[in-house]
Every structure is written in C-alpha cells, then in structure tokens.
Amino acid sequence: MELTTIDRFPLSGKRVFIRVDFNVPLSDTGAVADDTRIREALPTIHYARQQGAIVLLASHLGRPKGKVDPAFSLKPAAERLGELLETPVKLAPDCVGPAVQAQLAQLSAGDVLVLENLRFHAGEEKNDPAFAQALAALADVYINDAFGSSHREHASVVGMVQHFKLKGIGLLMRKEIAALSRLLAHPEPPFVVILGGAKVSDKIGLIGSLLPRVQTMIIGGAMAYTVQKAQGVAVGKSRVEADKVAEVKTVLAEAEQRSVALLLPKDHIVVSELKAGASASTTPGRDIPDNLLGVDIGPQSIESFRAAIRSARTILWNGPMGVFEIPPFDQGTRALAETVAATASFSVIGGGDTVSAITQAGLADRISHISTGGGASLEFLEAGDLPGLAALR
C-alpha cells in the first residue's frame, strides 16, 4: 500500500500531530548548536499552517531514560523554530495529559505547539499502548516526518498510528524515501558505495543487501581493520571485531563471486596511542606493525578511492575514513568529501560524522541528498522498509 503524503489530506481546522526529529545537538549554553533537522522539517510545518491546521510537533531529545530532566527539554528547539518561522511557538509543559489538552484548546488555525520531550515518559521507548493512546487523543491527523527516528518501534512512531484514520508522511519523509529508493531500485552504474566508521557489525547486513546492486565498494575507517584481519593481513593494535571475522569472510567470497570491486586501504596512518597530538606515521603497505594502531587511510588509499569515486554515476557514503573527530586524522574523510562533491553523480550521504565532514567543508549544496537519519538510512537500504513506515500501511 502506498504511503499518503500530507498534501493529500484536508487539514483545515484539524489538529495535526507531526512526529518530527528535533533531536539536535545543544551548545554549552543550552542553545541549539546545529539546526539542520529543524530546518528540514520546515516545509511540512509551513504546509500544515498554510492549510489552516493546528500544528502539534512531537520529538525526543537525548536519552533522559523515561524521567523528566530539564537538560533534555525541547525548549531550545521550540525557540529556534520560532525564530525560523518568525512567529511565536509555544512549548507544552508535557506531551500528554490535561495540561496539554487545556493548552491545545486555546490554539487557533496556523498555531504551532511543541510538545515536551516524548522520552520524559518511559512509555515512549517501551511503545506502551496506554501512552500511545494518550498521544493519539491529542489530534485528528497523524503525520510522520521523523525519518531519523522511524527505525525505532516507539509509541510516537508505531504505537499511536493505529488510532488514526487519517495518517501519512511529511514532505521530508517523502524526500528521504525517494532518494534512498533510487539506490535500491535503479541505481545508474557505476554504483560506488563508500563505507566507514567503527563497526563492521553495524553495516554487514547493508553490505549483503547492496552487493547485488553495486560495481565498487570502498571500505575504510575502523571497520576496514576487521576486513583486513579476515584477509590475513596484520592489523597491529587496531580496533577489530573478532567475532565478525568469519561473517566477513563470507561477504568477501560473495563480493568476489559477484565481481564487485572491493577496495580496501593500501596504506594507513598509524600511531602508538590514540590521542590528540599523537606522533603519526604512514605504513608503506597494508600491514600495520604490532605496536601501532590505524587512525586514518594513507595517501595511496586516498588516491585509489578517489579514482573509483570519479568514475561513479551513483554514490552512497556512510561513515568516516578515520578518527574524524581528532585532526589531522580527518584528512582521508575530507579528501573523499571533496572528491564526491566534485562529481556529477547522484550522491547520497548519511551518518553524523560523514554529514559533518561535508558540512564543515562547505560542500553540502553539492551533494544530491544528505539523509537526516544515519541508522534509519542504513536500515532502510538493508530492509527496504522501516517500522515507522510499515505502521502507516
């Protein structure tokens, strides 16, 4: 069953519950440090207001563990949203209950109310039926525009949906699904996938799902050391998931069988201890000495990966090539970011560090699609669906 987008519903005079993803980083002063996710939700919010809806926005922030914690209040997000909308945006004292209902009763068409952090209630993450029903009692229409949260079976994403006849997705969700579905359905070859990050376990399912579709797969970051270990190449003190080595060997065999070009680092930037200011050196080849650990890809690897990227017509990238948060071990990631941005390919990027690399380099406008959900994008590409979308069907 096809998902219905918000622009297909009659919204005038209706209370519209929009699940957004305002799980944004906060600065030391408590202000929103990066408002990307709030900005991405604006088209859906604007549309609902223009149609005369009373708009309720619901999100989680951080991990307050089912208890009220002022440090995780959505107040900064509500204030930033008000600035972006250039209109007052109120914050409810809670996300359910009589006080919220009373505040709702005072709202008029076009008004926006941000509900307080859903995770102040343990019932959100437990997908508690009573909590889900209490959330549903607030509104007439349910819209999921929180792509980054839709891989979680929580009350606001899955449990409450069954209580609505009018239910669908927002404009951001539609954009995310369209971009990622293009990678699954008809990716224009050569399709090059770049995977990095710490754990191969997070992406081994994705690798298996993508192997029938890709021509080249580039693997960097710490996950490359587990793959290198599976190939019998020395990894020194580098991070390795020993329990995944056998599974990786199976994936390597399938890649070979499908004639997928699997590119791994040809050299590494290595240190004796992972810390800022550590003295680094470059290995002459793939082997890492016993007393050292890898922290980034080396210059030979950068050139090898860049050549593959330049040939691509379709690119998916998730995960940095090194310890991105400690310069200069971000050089491999930044070099690939510049190369991806310079191509004319259809490019999709997901994952916090990868998005940060692109944004910090000022290259975001040269990427076809930047996903707002790292984990959600991986799960969608692996399974072709998400719990939050399945609930709507």
Pairing of β 54-58 and β 15-19: parallel
- Taking the C-alpha atoms of residue 84 and residue 304, their distance in angstroms, rounded to an integer, is 43
Place of tokens 């310890």: 323
70, amino acid identity: P
- Taking the C-alpha atoms of residue 215 and residue 252, their distance in angstroms, rounded to an integer, is 14
Place of tokens 């940060």: 356
What long-range pairs does 273-278 form, CB within 8 A, spacing at least 24? 274/323, 274/326, 275/326, 276/326
Query: Which helix H or strand E contains 370, and what residues bound it?
Result: strand 369-370
The token duo for 297 is 């890809």
CA distance readout (Å), 370 to 33, 61, 81, 130, 149: 18, 21, 21, 36, 16
Helix (H, G, I), strand (E, B) or coil at 246: helix
- Taking the C-alpha atoms of residue 319 and residue 199, their distance in angstroms, rounded to an integer, is 10
Neighbour tally for 389: CB within 10 Å: 21
Place of tokens 């330049």: 310
The token duo for 355 is 């998005």
216, amino acid identity: T
- Taking the C-alpha atoms of residue 86 and residue 220, their distance in angstroms, rounded to an integer, is 43
Q: Which of these is catalytic: 14, 19, 37, 175?
A: 37
Q: Which of these is catalytic: 75, 199, 306, 366?
A: 199
Sequence-distant (6+) residues with CB within 8 A of 159 are 127, 128, 129, 131, 132, 153
Measured at the CA of 59, the angle between CA 105 and CA 90, to 5 degrees, comes to: 40
Identify the bridge partners of residue 19 per DSSP, sorted by sequence position: 58, 144
Decide if 199 is catalytic. Answer: yes
Decide if 37 is catalytic. Answer: yes
Question: What angle do helix axes 374-383 and 171-185 make, rounded to 10 degrees?
Answer: 50
Please report, to the nearest 10 degrees, the dihedral formed by the alpha carbons of residues 316, 322, 323, 324 taken in order.
Answer: -50
Please report, to the nearest 10 degrees, the dihedral formed by the alpha carbons of residues 77, 81, 83, 85 taken in order.
Answer: 180
Decide if 205 is catalytic. Answer: no
- Active-site residues, by number, are 37, 199, 352, 375
